[in-house]
Amino acid sequence: MSLILTPEPLSAAAFAPFGDVIEVADGCNHYAINYGRTERYHDLAALDVLENAGKPTVSIFRSQPAQFPLRVEVMERHPLSSQAFIAMQRKPFLILVAPAGEQPQLAQLRLFEVGAEQGVNYHRGVWHHYQFSLDEVRDFICIDRSGGHGANCDEYRFTEAVYLQRSPSI
């Protein structure tokens, strides 16, 4: 028996069990800076990267597009840190997540469509599929942890048949 997942829209409330949505939204803490020429939307994600002498790191992931339907072979988690992704070309992308725990539970898998003006920050231990793009090679800013000590990437390989489908809108 296969499990087929289709995307749901990403909102801060829906994503709360997994992390933060990085976006300009009602209720954000924002204020004018630079003599009124810039509005700062402040402190949008809980970065958690200092465990075991880790340090914050900004990288660019140049990701290959996935082919659909995508068979989910593996998911991963970072037990020592958060990990944020923000699309540089402002194109939508898909993320697959499951709550932190010993292993991802099939019944708790969620597929979200990240909008063109959103980013995500996975909280530490949250299971997720590694980054991929849609249609074309795309660049993503990644903010996570480097240095320090301790293994920070656990993988879980599915034996069940889990597939991701795109929605017509993306």
Ligand X SMILES: NC(=O)N[C@@H](O)C(=O)O
- 88 interface partner picked from Ni ion, ligand X, none, CB below 5 to 8 A per type: none
Among 53, 58, 153, 161, binds ligand X (CB under 6 A): 153
DSSP state of 12: H
* Nearest CA-CA partner of 130 in 63, 80, 71, 81: 63
Q: Is 57 in the site for ligand X (CB under 6 A)?
A: no
Which residues have CB under 8 Å from 37's CB, separation 6+? none
The nearest distance, CB 77 to ligand X, in angstroms, is 9
Build a one-symbol-per-residue string for 81-100: x at contacts with Ni ion by CB under 5 A, - elsewhere. Answer: --x-----------------
| Least distance CB 135 / Ni ion (angstroms) | 21
Binding site for ligand X (CB under 6 A): 76, 83, 128, 130-131, 153
